A and B are shown apart, each in its own frame.
Chain A
Amino acid sequence: IAGITQAPTSQILAAGRRMTLRCTQDMRHNAMYWYRQDLGLGLRLIHYSNTAGTTGKGEVPDGYSVSRANTDDFPLTLASAVPSQTSVYFCASSPGLADTGELFFGEGSRLTVL
């Protein structure tokens, strides 16, 4: 049972470089999400997708972009990384945006921007 797979698990990146965090789920969930988690703060939503072909902005979308070409994949791209984007990034999915079910999380990607 794979659930949600994120890659890479950890990465050190120079400021100004482009980076894509990959996320794949095998549960056929419609909704997918990208969160960042920083010490002392709650999980903050970056972008989300209700279903393949649609995306929406969350609480902290600036500097990030996403795409949802199919149901399974939801990559997050940092076009030009900055040190404030140093964080742990979690991808998550749920059957639907408006459902009352739980979120299923990937194991996280720890990103350090120098």
Chain B
Amino acid sequence: GQNIDQPTEMTATEGAIVQINCTYQTSGFNGLFWYQQHAGEAPTFLSYNVLDGLEEKGRFSSFLSRSKGYSYLLLKELQMKDSASYLCAVKDSNYQLIWGAGTKLIIKP
């Protein structure tokens, strides 16, 4: 079966750096997405990786290793507003998105 694994919850301190990991086993691969979802709101797009390596976008970076079935989202200079759930999703060979259950990130002052 297809599976996306990510930690259920993480805690970090304001101003620090946090890395959220995602491992996947899917039927084919057509890209990996990270979304941010604040409580009670809709998911919003953060990043997309289809080739191995690091994609940097401001304070957020996303890394992909297709051979290892692994990605991480790196958040730098954490702010209180970064408290949210972070969803990892992979597009399979049928171009359907397979979603992880999300990682709830708690930022403490």
Contact = CB atoms under 8 A, between A and B. Distances in A.
Contact residues of A: prevailing secondary structure: loop
A100 interface: yes
Contacts of B33: 102-103
A107 B42 contact: yes
Contact of A100 (B30, B42, B99): B30
How large, as a class, is the contact surface on chain A?
20 to 34
Nearest to A91: B42
Interface string A88-114: 001000000110111111111000000
Interface string A57-91: 01000000000000000000000000000000010
Interface in B2-42: 4, 8, 30-31, 33, 41-42
Contact of A41 (B42, B45, B101): B101
Given A102-B45, A102-B48, A105-B42, A42 B4 contact: yes
A43 interface: yes
A100 B91 contact: yes
Interface string B44-74: 1100101000000000000000000000000
Interface of A: 40-45, 48, 58, 90, 97-98, 100-108
Given A45-B96, A101-B48, A105-B44, 6 more contacts: A43-B97, A58-B96, A90-B42, A98-B30, A100-B31, A102-B33
